[in-house]
A and B are shown apart, each in its own frame.
Chain A
Amino acid sequence: MVLKYSSITKKIIMALAGLFLISFLIVHLGINLLILKNDGREAFNLAAHFMVTNPLIQTMQWVLFGGFIIHILLGVVLQIQNWMARPQRYKVEGYSHTSFFSKFMIHTGAIILAFLVLHLINFFFRAKFGEMPGVMIGDQHYEDMGLLVIEKFKSLPYVLIYIFWLLFLGFHLDHAFHSALQSLGLNHNKYTPVAFGISRALAILIAGGFILIPLIIYIS
Chain B
Amino acid sequence: MDLTLKIWRQKNATSKGKFVTYKVNGISPNSSFLEMMDILNESLVVKGEDPVAFDHDCREGICGACSMYINGRPHGPDKAITTCQLHMRRFKDGDTIVIEPWRARPFPVLKDLIVDRTAFDKIIQAGGYISVNTGGIPDANAIPIPRANAELSMDAAACIGCGACVAACKNASAMLFVSAKVSQFERLPEGKPEAAERGQATVAEIDRLGFGN
Binding site for B on A (CB under 8 A): 6-8, 10-11, 78, 81-82, 84-96, 98, 102-103
Contact = CB atoms under 8 A, between A and B. Distances in A.
Contacts of A82: 170-173, 212-213
B103 A90 contact: yes
A142 B9 CA distance: 72
A96 B169 CA distance: 8
Interface string B163-181: 0000011111101000000
B203 interface: yes
Contacts of A88: 103
B72 A6 contact: no
Contacts, number: 71
A90 B98 CA distance: 10
A218 B28 CA distance: 66
A8 B201 CA distance: 12
A95 B212 CA distance: 18
Interface of B: 6, 8, 19, 69, 71-73, 98, 100, 103-106, 168-173, 175, 200, 203-204, 206-207, 210-213
Given A11-B213, A103-B170, A92 B105 contact: no
Contact of B73 (A84, A87, A96): A96
A6 B204 contact: yes
Nearest to A8: B203
Contacts of B73: 94-96
A34 B116 CA distance: 60
Contacts of B172: 82, 85-86
Given A6-B207, A85-B171, A102-B170, 5 more contacts: A81-B213, A86-B103, A86-B104, A91-B8, A95-B72
Contact of A86 (B200, B204, B212): B212
Contacts of B72: 90, 92-95
A103 B169 CA distance: 11
Contacts of A102: 170
A100 B78 CA distance: 21
Which among A81, A85, A88, A89 has the highest number of chain B CB atoms within 10 Å? A85
A11 B72 CA distance: 27
6 contacts: A6-B204, A6-B207, A85-B173, A85-B211, A88-B103, A95-B72
A92 B212 contact: no
Given A6-B203, A94-B170, A96-B73, A85 B98 contact: no
Lowest 7 A-B CB distances belong to which pairs? A85-B212, A92-B72, A85-B172, A82-B171, A82-B212, A86-B172, A7-B213
Contacts of A7: 173, 175, 203, 206-207, 213
Contacts of A93: 72
